[in-house]
Amino acid sequence: MELHLDSFMSDGYTSATSAHEWLSAIASAELHHLQVLTLSGCELAGSIGTSMLNLSSLSHLDLSNNDITHFPQQMFHLPNLKVLDLSSNSHLTGSLPEFPPGTALQQLFLADTNYTGRIPHSIGNLKQLTDLEVGHCGFFGPLPHSLGDLEQLAFLGLSWNNFEGEIPFSFSKLSRLEKLDMLSNRFVGPLPSLKASRKTIAIIDLSSNKFSGPIPSSYANNGLPNLTYLDLSNNQLNGTIPPSLFTLPSLQYMHLDQNKFIGILDDEAFPNSISSPLTILDLSYNLLEGNIPKFISKFTSLEYLDLSSNNFHGEVDPRMFTSLKNLSAIHLSDNIMLLIDTSDLVITIPSLFEFAASSCNLSAVPRFLRYQPQLNSLNLSDNQIQGKCLIGYGPTSGVLIFPITH
């Protein structure tokens, strides 16, 4: 038996309804065979009573998007409960219970609540768990090694908490992981090994932590064929960026900004047959040097490029961007002695909307800018350009004048 009241109660039939009253009424209605109960977005408020424990056949309980303040820990132990969604109850407080062997939970969603405390070691007893989402809560402390025992785990969401310490080596045993979200915590040490899940992982977000060391070789060398999103930004990672990272066949979003990566992005290290679906590439705020790599011209799906705040130098030939029909933003600011070709060739980057090359020691305005019909935002400040910048937008679009600060 299933009971879905989310649409009924959200159509004006209730307002700040007592969660205790509603759920007590349901629990006392002789619905012993009720398996699915959905009350998402029903404006339920207050505490959930223990009368819900009478629903022993319940396998799916969704109380998300309400204003519940208390949920009995015993409910986690209902013998048939496989899906529990308490997310988006911003005033809901509590902590995770101990999980005895045989606990049936397969999906647990607590995101955007005030749950706090540590992840118990007994989490490893949830052998059928596929989804664990506890983002935007108040959890803290190190992760238990037993997380590596969750052989069915596909989605692990730990973002915006106060977790700390190194990622347990047992993570290397997770073989079905598809999404790993750990952003904005206090994790340290090397990036987690994902060798066992290299063929399944699609999304990795480890940004805004204190990870250090190089990018593991298992992340590159075509080791993650289904990876579409990689965000390692705002950490303390160092070493060189593995060239093969740019050739991952499914990778669309790569954020490696705000780290300590060094070295030259050598064109010779990239095969001529390189093909990449990258749409966003952000390498800003690192210590990269040498010329702007020409292999960028092979990223034909690229929409956003940020190489600012590095040590790139030499001449940039804008013709490398002409094959990038969807490229709307180029950020090159804060690099040393960055010279941009000022020839009179008509070079058009058809979708270019914003261009930034401030603090690059430019002595002249790059002439190719006058041929960009979509250009709307231009930053050439803090260079060696004198006077004003007169830029035309094609033969019929007129001209715009940009003051140049220096």
Q: What residue segments make up the domains of the chain, in order of their start? A: 1-91
The residues facing 179 across adjacent strands are 155, 203
Please tell me the predicted confidence (pLDDT) of residue 87. 98
pLDDT tens figures, 148-178: 999 999 999 999 999 999 999 999 899 999 9
DSSP notation for 350-388: TT--EEE--SS---S--GGGGG-TT--EEE--SSS--SE
Q: How far from chain centre, in Å, is Cα 191?
A: 15
Please tell me the predicted confidence (pLDDT) of residue 35. 92
pTM here is 0.92
Q: Measure the CA–CA gap between 125 and 148, rounded to whole angstroms.
A: 11
Give the residue among 231, 165, 152, 166 at the shortest CA–CA distance from 196.
152
Q: What are phi and psi of 68, to 5 degrees?
A: -75, 140
The residues facing 314 across adjacent strands are 338
Task: Determine contact, residues 116/138, Cβ cutoff 8 Å.
Answer: yes
Please tell me the predicted confidence (pLDDT) of residue 395. 41
Strand, coil or helix: 183: coil
Q: Measure the CA–CA gap between 234 and 214, rounded to whole angstroms.
A: 14
Strand, coil or helix: 230: strand
Residues in the chain where the model's pLDDT stays below 50:
12-14, 394-406
Please report, for residues 8, 27, 85, 231, 305, the alpha-carbon distance to residue 4 in angstroms, rounded to integers and kept in the order given: 8, 15, 14, 37, 46
Give the residue among 95, 140, 144 at the shortest CA–CA distance from 122.
144
Task: Determine contact, residues 368/341, Cβ cutoff 8 Å.
Answer: yes
Please report, for residues 4, 45, 71, 378, the alpha-carbon distance to residue 18 in angstroms, rounded to integers and kept in the order given: 18, 5, 13, 55
Task: Determine contact, residues 242/217, Cβ cutoff 8 Å.
Answer: yes
Please tell me the predicted confidence (pLDDT) of residue 406. 45
Please tell me the predicted confidence (pLDDT) of residue 30. 62
Task: Determine contact, residues 141/116, Cβ cutoff 8 Å.
Answer: no
DSSP notation for 234-287: SSEEEEPPPGGGGG-TT--EEE--SSEEEEE--GGGS-TT------EEE--SSE
